[in-house]
Amino acid sequence: MLIGVIADDFTGASDIANTLAKGLHPEGGLRTAQFVSVPDGAAPANVDAGVISLKSRTAPIAEAVADSVSAFRWLQAQGCRQFIFKYCSTFDSTKEGNIGPVAEALADELRADKVVFCPAFPTTGRTVYQGHLFVGDKPLNESGLENHPLTPMTDADIRRWLGHQTNEAVGHVPHAAVAKGASAIRQAMARIDARFVIADAIDDADLITLGEALSDATLITGGSGIALGLPRNFLKSVSSKQQLPGAEACQGAEAILAGSCSGATRGQIDFHAADHPTLAIDVPGVMAGTVTAETLVKFYRAHVGSAPLAYSSGTPDEVKALQLKFGREEVAAKLDALFSETAAMLVDLGFRRIVVAGGETSGAVAQAISQTLSAPAMNVGREIDPGVPVLTLGNDRKVALALKSGNFGAPEFFVKALRLMEGSQ
């Protein structure tokens, strides 16, 4: 294995797996596998890039560090030469978040003296300029992410935000240096007296240049975009005779589960509801135990063939009201358990195409399905929309998954995903 990725949530893991697998080089990308957890045994011999999916984005610092180091050590044992700590392209965390502590721990493991941070993903509008993170033409803290129910981002200055989470000095490689090429980036980094370095990137060309500049870096951190330029550094080491199977087409019953409260997901739900059956999950009922996995499964079974969607999404004000009434952690835990149990039941009932929206929800669903099928690895298939591929797992009972970050995807994403899963255009 050449590249090892530690991803702090499941949608982010499939996002960067997609980036590494498709590549931008004429010869393509790397043979990539996404793992639902840290495997017990060795990786398949023909895997060039391994992505470990963690559910650590909102975990306590000690837990996130322990899980990340465990994933790193397994990847290191597989022979990886370069490691990526993948977090969200909107740097989802709080002042007390774990991005800084996890990066510190991984840097200590590798004895890395300079570590780049670059959450940019220009294809979806996330850019870094002058050390500040933008979503489209808005600073991060004016983009709606300041209202995120779990990780409200109230400052667009990534240098300052990271500074809250670490004792390490935080430097900056400005876009003026990035635009001059890989050599200029290396020179700028050499002049910086800081272990952690925020790198600007406003388009894919910048990310490819960063990839060239970081060809010898043992540890890189960022969103999936930071991986755009990395496969080409390793392609000469990859045998073209070996192929890793991609995701296969799956026929069968379908279900859509949405737990994201992002504006994009709410818009996708509204678009879908115009022509398809939907079920708004009654969160107080979930907390009281009157709305259960059986409730959702009954809805899905009644609407097989019609792309049924059940969702717990709400506006920022609605989410805040529920959190104040029941507790933020309690609501999140109950909904994760609901989606997890529902997914396991659906797979046992023969559902074979499952679309999920939201990072926390995706983690709960993917883990449940992996355990149900005893299948820890997912194959990476066709890209549905930027950052979201079709994934398949299982052998005798093969299941297709799409794990969508809340803010990703076109309005018609749900139906498009289901069609690609069954091999339709």
Instruction: Describe the strand order of the beta sheet including 138-139 as a list of residue ranges.
Output: 126-129, 132-135, 138-139
- CA 121/CA 18 separation, integer angstroms: 13
Angle between helices 204-213 and 182-191 (to 10 degrees): 60
Containing structural domain, residue 40: 3-237
The answer to whether the beta carbons of residues 406 and 391 sit under 8 Å apart is no
Q: Is residue 159 part of a domain?
A: yes
Q: What is the CATH number of the domain that holds 86?
A: 3.40.50.10840
Q: Are residues 53 and 161 in the same domain?
A: yes
Q: Are residues 64 and 200 in the same domain?
A: yes
Higher pLDDT, 235 or 204: 204
Domain final residue pick, 237, 272, 301 = 237
Q: What is the CATH number of the domain that holds 400?
A: 3.40.980.20
Q: Are residues 67 and 195 in the same domain?
A: yes
Examine the pLDDT at 240 and tell me if it is beyond 60. no
Q: Are residues 40 and 110 in the same domain?
A: yes
Average pLDDT, the chain: 91
Exposure letters 44-67 (e unless 16+ CB within 10 A, then b)? beebbbbbbbbbbbbbebeebbeb
Q: Are residues 77 and 26 in the same domain?
A: yes
The highest-confidence range among 10-14, 244-248, 272-276, by mean pLDDT, is 272-276
Q: Are residues 260 and 346 in the same domain?
A: yes
Picking from 109-113, 317-321, 371-375, which range would have the lowest pLDDT averaged per residue? 317-321
Going along 159-298, which residue ranges are E strands? Answer: 170-173, 196-199, 219-222, 253-258, 278-280
Q: Is residue 245 part of a domain?
A: no
For the chain, what is the domain count? Answer: 2
HSE-up (13 A, CA, CB side) for residue 137: 0
Q: Is residue 244 part of a domain?
A: no
Q: Are residues 189 and 259 in the same domain?
A: no
Q: Are residues 221 and 136 in the same domain?
A: yes
Q: Are residues 179 and 326 in the same domain?
A: no
Q: Are residues 184 and 297 in the same domain?
A: no
Percentages helix, strand, coil for the chain, rounded to the nearest 5?
40, 20, 40
pLDDT in tens, 352-411: 999 999 988 999 999 999 999 998 888 888 889 988 999 999 888 899 999 998 888 999
Percent of the chain at pLDDT exceeding 90: 72
